[in-house]
C-alpha cells in the first residue's frame, strides 16, 4: 500500500515538473492579453510579458533552430525560429507566445512518454525477488538477493520466482520461463537443468547452485539490450523537413526581392509572415494526431507519427509465436482413445487423476472436462511424481496419467500402435499424456498452445497490403514452430531463439536494407521490439515492458488490428501530402498578394491562418476515416472480411466433446 502511494506521488510530481513550462507560458499569455484588453498598465508591460513568455518557452526551440543552421541543415525548427523572430520583429508578441505554448505542450507530452518508457524498463528487474532463501550448511536463511554470491545454494519453493541464474542440483519441478525464452509450455527441470532469474517455479521444490547474479543474469542482460536498442534506433526525418529544405530559402529570397522592389520593409515582412510555417508545421502533426485518435478508438495505440509513416514501407514483418500468433496457454486439442473406449471416458479418467494437480497441463485437462460438462469426482488416493505423472484411485479404478516412460515404469504395456500415435502427435508439435486404467492404456490426450482464430486471415491481409515477407520467431522447439508456421501460413520461421538472437536477427535484416516490423508480447521480445523500425506489442496479454518499448500497442490482441494500423498509415501519409499542398497553395497566393502590396502584415497573418484552418479541417476528416475497407490486391482480401471471419471463428470455436 505504501509503495503504491509513493509511486502515485512520484508520478504526480513528474507530471507537475513537465507541466511547468507550458503552464507558465499559458498564464503569461492570459495576463498579457488581459492587461491589453482592459488597458491596465503600459504597453511595455503587456508586450514585455508576451515577449518573456516567447523567450522562456521557446528557448529550446531557438537553440535547436540555430544549431540546425550551424550544422547547415534546414529543418522545420529553422523555419519556426525564423517565423518567430519575424513575428517578434513586427510587434506580434502574443502571436509568437501562442506558437511557443503549443510547442511546449507537445514537448512536455513527448518527455513524459519517453520517461515512462525508461521507467518501465527499470521495472523489469522487479521480476527478480528482493530476497531469497539460501542454504548455509544445514540451515536455511533468508537474505537480500544482492548479497547472494556465485556458488551459493538457493532454495525455491512452488509458486516462487527464481532469483538467480543457476543449475539445479536437487529437486524436480515445472518452470514457466516464457518471459525469458518465449516457450509456450512450462519446462521440466531436474538435476543438471539450467534455470533463469525471473522465471516462475510452478510445482516442485528446487535447489539451485548460483552461476550468475546481478547485472550478469539473463534478465538483466535483456534490460541492457532494450536500452541499447532504443538508443541505436535511427531517427527518421520528419516528412515536412524534406520540403523545408528548399521552401524556407525560397521564402527568404522572395521577401528580399519584395523589399528591394518596393523599399517597404512591411511588405517584405508580410511576404515572410504569409509564409509563416503555421499551416505547414501543423500539416503533419494534425494529420498524425487525427490518425492516432482514430486508431485509439479501434484499440490501437500509436506513440508517434513516424511509425504511421514507416508502416507502409515495411519489407519484413517478424512475429513472435507465443502470446501473439497463439494464446500462450496449453489447451487440449485432441483425444485419441484405444480399443473402442469412448473419448469422454478417457477425458473423465484423466480429469479424476489431475483434479488436485496444479500443473498447467492438468489445468488444461480440467478445463476441457468442464467444457464437456463432465462431473469429476474426488479421487480417494492421489500422488504426484514431479515431471513424470500422477497416480490416483477411485473405487475399483487405478488411474495413471503421464508420460510414456512413466506408464512403462509402472508396468503398463505400451503397444507399438500407441508409440506411433504419440509420435504422430509429437510431429505436430503437441505434448501428449497417456491415460491408463487398471494397468491398461485407454487413450492419450494431446495438448498444444492454441492458435488465435484470426491469425491466418490477418496474415493473408498483411501480405495483400504489400509486406514482402512474414517470419515467425519463437523460443519454442523446432517441431512446435514448424507445425504452427505451416498452419498459419507464414513465409518462414526461426525456432529456439533467445532474446539476444531475436535482436541480432532484426539487426541482420536492417543491415540488408530492409524496413523491419516486429510484433511481440513478452519480455523476451522487448529488445527486438525496441530496435525494429516499427515495434508492435500485443497489449492486453503483453508485459508492461513490451508495451512500453513498442511503438504501437494492440489493446485487444486482435492481429487484424495490425492491418487496420497499416491501412491508416496510408491514409495519414496521403493526408499529410494533401495538407502540405494546401499550405503551399495558400502560400503561393499569399506571396502574390503580399508582393503587390495588397496585404499588410496583419492581413498576411490572417491569410495564413485561413490556411491553418483548412489544414485542420482536412486532418479532422481522418477522425472518421474507416480502416476496414476492402484491400484490392488480386484477391480482394479485406479487413471487413477478416473481421467477419474472426467473429465466425469465435462463434464456431465450440469444444467438440464426445
Number of neighbours of residue 107 by Cβ within 10 angstroms = 16
Q: What is the pLDDT of residue 650?
A: 35
Interatomic CA distance for residues 175 and 195, integer angstroms = 8
pLDDT, greater one: 102 or 610: 610
Are both 439 and 478 inside the same structural domain?
A: no
Q: What is the pLDDT of residue 472?
A: 92
Contact between 277 and 83 under an 8 Å Cβ cutoff? The reply is yes
In a domain, 309, yes or no: yes
Q: What is the pLDDT of residue 634?
A: 34
Number of neighbours of residue 653 by Cβ within 10 angstroms = 9
Q: What is the pLDDT of residues 183-206, one digit of tens each?
A: 656 788 888 998 988 888 888 899
Q: How many residues does the chain have?
A: 658
Are both 132 and 203 inside the same structural domain?
A: yes
Domain boundary among 80, 96, 125: 125
Angle at 82 between CA 81 and CA 83, to 5 degrees: 90
In a domain, 584, yes or no: no
Checking if the pLDDT of 153 tops 90, the result is yes
In a domain, 594, yes or no: no
Checking if the pLDDT of 425 tops 60, the result is yes
Angle at 38 between CA 32 and CA 44, to 5 degrees: 45
Number of neighbours of residue 100 by Cβ within 10 angstroms = 28
What is the domain range of residue 116?
Answer: 14-125
Checking if the pLDDT of 168 tops 90, the result is yes
Are both 318 and 456 inside the same structural domain?
A: yes
* Among the listed residues 491, 452, 477, the one whose alpha carbon sits nearest the alpha carbon of residue 317: 491
Are both 161 and 115 inside the same structural domain?
A: no
Q: What is the pLDDT of residues 21-42, one digit of tens each?
A: 888 988 998 999 899 889 888 8
Interatomic CA distance for residues 449 and 633, integer angstroms = 32
468: left (phi over 0), alpha (psi -120 to 50) or beta: alpha
Contact between 369 and 357 under an 8 Å Cβ cutoff? The reply is no
- Contacts within 8 Å (CB) and 24+ apart, 113-117: 113/303, 115/14, 116/548, 117/230, 117/548, 117/549
Which residues are part of the catalytic machinery? 320
Average pLDDT over residues 359-382: 88
Q: What is the pLDDT of residue 601?
A: 63
Q: What is the pLDDT of residue 609?
A: 66
Average pLDDT over residues 232-248: 57
In a domain, 622, yes or no: no
Number of neighbours of residue 345 by Cβ within 10 angstroms = 17
Are both 175 and 187 inside the same structural domain?
A: yes
Q: What is the pLDDT of residues 375-420, one digit of tens each?
A: 899 888 888 887 688 999 988 889 999 988 899 988 989 898 998 9
Are both 413 and 470 inside the same structural domain?
A: no
Contact between 640 and 632 under an 8 Å Cβ cutoff? The reply is no
Count of domains for the chain: 4
Q: What is the pLDDT of residues 509-534, one digit of tens each?
A: 999 999 999 998 767 788 888 889 99
Interatomic CA distance for residues 457 and 628, integer angstroms = 14
In a domain, 231, yes or no: no
Interatomic CA distance for residues 655 and 657, integer angstroms = 6
Interatomic CA distance for residues 89 and 264, integer angstroms = 15
Please list, in sequence order, all residues whose beta carbon lies within 8 angstroms of the beta carbon of residue 13, skipping any fewer than 6 positions away: none
Q: What is the pLDDT of residue 156?
A: 94
Checking if the pLDDT of 243 tops 90, the result is no
Are both 400 and 368 inside the same structural domain?
A: yes
Domain boundary among 198, 216, 234: 216
* Among the listed residues 631, 647, 459, the one whose alpha carbon sits nearest the alpha carbon of residue 559: 459
Interatomic CA distance for residues 336 and 421, integer angstroms = 8
The DSSP element (H or E) to which 593 belongs, if any, is helix 560-595
Domain boundary among 216, 243, 278: 216
Q: What is the pLDDT of residue 123?
A: 58
Q: What is the pLDDT of residues 290-345, one digit of tens each?
A: 887 788 777 777 777 778 878 888 999 999 887 778 877 788 989 999 988 899 99
CATH number of the structural domain spanning residue 512:
3.40.50.1000
Average pLDDT over residues 352-372: 88
Contact between 384 and 428 under an 8 Å Cβ cutoff? The reply is no
The tally of CA atoms less than 13 A away on the side-chain side of residue 389 is 22
φ, ψ dihedrals at 542, nearest 5°: -80, 160
Please list, in sequence order, all residues whose beta carbon lies within 8 angstroms of the beta carbon of residue 342, skipping any fewer than 6 positions away: 658
Summary mean pLDDT of the chain: 78
Interatomic CA distance for residues 56 and 53, integer angstroms = 5
How far, in whole angstroms, is CA 241 from its chain's centroid? 27
Q: What is the pLDDT of residue 154?
A: 95
Radius of gyration of the chain (CA): 32
Please list, in sequence order, all residues whose beta carbon lies within 8 angstroms of the beta carbon of residue 294, skipping any fewer than 6 positions away: 568, 622, 623, 624, 625, 627
Average pLDDT over residues 536-547: 63
Are both 358 and 307 inside the same structural domain?
A: no
Contact between 68 and 74 under an 8 Å Cβ cutoff? The reply is yes
Interatomic CA distance for residues 315 and 330, integer angstroms = 33
Amino acid at each position: 500500500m505504501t509503495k503504491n502511494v509513493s509511486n502515485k506521488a512520484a508520478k504526480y510530481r513528474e507530471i507537475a515538473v513537465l507541466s511547468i513550462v507550458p503552464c507558465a507560458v499559458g498564464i503569461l499569455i492570459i495576463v498579457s492579453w488581459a492587461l491589453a484588453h482592459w488597458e491596465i498598465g503600459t504597453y511595455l508591460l503587456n508586450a514585455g510579458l508576451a515577449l518573456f513568455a516567447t523567450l522562456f518557452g521557446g528557448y529550446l526551440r531557438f537553440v535547436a533552430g540555430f544549431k540546425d543552421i550551424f550544422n547547415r541543415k534546414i529543418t522545420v525548427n529553422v523555419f519556426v525560429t525564423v517565423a518567430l523572430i519575424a513575428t517578434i520583429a513586427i510587434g506580434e508578441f502574443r502571436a509568437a507566445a501562442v506558437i511557443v505554448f503549443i510547442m511546449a505542450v507537445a514537448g512536455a507530452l513527448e518527455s513524459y512518454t519517453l520517461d515512462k518508457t525508461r521507467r518501465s524498463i527499470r521495472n523489469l528487474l522487479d521480476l527478480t525477488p528482493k530476497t531469497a532463501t539460501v542454504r548455509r550448511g544445514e540451515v536455511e536463511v533468508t537474505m537480500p538477493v544482492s548479497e547472494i554470491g556465485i556458488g551459493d545454494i538457493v532454495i525455491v519453493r512452488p509458486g516462487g520466482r527464481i532469483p538467480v541464474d543457476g543449475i539445479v542440483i536437487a529437486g524436480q519441478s515445472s518452470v514457466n520461463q516464457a518471459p525469458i525464452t518465449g516457450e509456450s509450455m512450462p519446462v521440466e527441470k531436474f538435476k543438471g537443468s539450467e534455470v533463469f532469474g525471473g522465471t516462475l517455479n510452478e510445482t516442485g521444490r528446487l535447489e539451485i547452485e548460483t552461476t550468475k547474479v546481478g547485472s550478469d543474469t539473463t534478465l538483466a542482460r535483456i534490460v541492457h539490450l532494450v536500452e541499447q536498442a532504443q538508443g541505436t534506433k535511427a531517427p527518421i526525418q520528419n516528412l515536412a523537413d524534406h520540403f523545408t529544405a528548399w521552401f524556407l530559402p525560397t521564402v527568404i529570397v522572395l521577401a528580399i526581392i519584395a523589399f528591394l522592389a518596393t523599399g517597404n520593409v512591411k511588405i517584405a515582412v508580410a511576404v515572410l509572415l504569409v509564409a509563416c510555417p503555421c499551416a505547414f508545421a501543423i500539416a503533419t502533426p494534425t494529420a498524425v494526431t487525427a490518425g492516432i485518435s482514430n486508431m485509439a478508438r479501434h484499440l490501437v495505440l500509436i506513440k508517434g507519427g513516424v511509425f504511421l509513416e514507416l508502416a507502409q514501407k515495411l519489407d519484413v514483418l517478424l512475429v513472435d509465436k507465443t502470446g501473439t500468433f497463439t494464446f500462450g496457454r496449453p489447451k487440449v486439442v485432441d483425444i485419441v482413445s484405444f480399443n473402442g473406449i469412448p473419448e469422454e471416458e478417457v477425458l473423465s479418467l484423466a480429469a479424476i487423476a489431475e483434479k488436485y494437480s496444479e500443473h498447467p497441463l492438468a489445468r488444461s485437462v480440467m478445463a476441457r472436462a468442464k467444457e464437456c460438462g463432465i462431473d469429476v469426482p474426488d479421487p480417494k488416493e492421489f500422488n504426484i511424481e514431479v515431471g513424470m505423472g500422477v497416480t490416483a484411485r477411485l473405487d475399483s479404478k487405478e488411474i495413471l496419467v503421464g508420460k510414456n516412460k512413466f506408464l512403462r515404469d509402472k508396468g503398463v504395456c505400451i503397444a507399438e500402435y500407441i508409440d506411433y500415435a504419440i509420435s504422430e502427435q509429437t510431429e505436430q508439435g503437441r505434448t501428449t499424456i497417456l491415460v491408463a486404467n487398471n494397468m491398461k492404456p485407454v487413450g492419450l490426450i494431446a495438448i498444444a498452445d492454441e492458435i488465435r482464430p484470426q491469425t491466418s486471415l490477418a496474415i493473408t491481409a498483411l501480405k495483400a497490403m504489400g509486406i514482402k515477407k512474414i517470419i515467425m520467431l519463437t523460443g519454442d522447439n523446432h517441431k512446435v514452430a514448424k507445425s504452427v508456421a505451416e498452419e498459419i501460413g507464414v513465409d518462414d520461421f526461426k525456432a529456439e531463439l533467445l532474446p539476444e538472437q531475436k535482436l541480432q536477427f532484426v539487426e541482420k535484416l536492417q543491415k540488408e536494407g530492409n524496413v523491419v516490423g516486429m510484433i511481440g508480447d513478452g519480455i523476451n521480445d522487448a529488445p527486438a521490439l525496441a530496435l525494429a523500425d516499427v515495434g508492435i506489442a500485443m497489449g492486453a496479454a503483453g508485459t508492461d515492458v513490451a508495451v512500453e518499448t513498442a511503438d504501437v500497442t494492440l489493446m485487444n490482441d486482435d492481429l487484424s488490428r495490425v492491418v487496420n494500423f497499416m491501412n491508416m498509415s496510408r491514409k495519414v501519409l496521403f493526408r499529410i501530402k494533401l495538407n502540405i499542398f494546401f499550405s503551399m497553395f495558400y502560400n503561393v497566393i499569399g506571396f502574390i498578394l503580399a508582393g503587390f502590396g495588397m496585404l499588410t502584415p496583419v492581413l498576411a497573418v490572417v491569410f495564413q491562418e485561413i490556411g491553418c484552418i483548412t489544414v485542420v479541417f482536412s486532418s479532422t476528416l481522418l477522425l472518421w476515416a474507416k480502416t476496414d475497407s476492402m484491400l484490392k490486391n488480386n484477391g480482394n482480401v479485406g479487413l471487413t472480411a477478416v473481421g467477419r471471419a474472426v467473429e465466425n471463428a469465435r462463434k464456431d470455436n465450440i469444444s467438440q466433446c464426445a
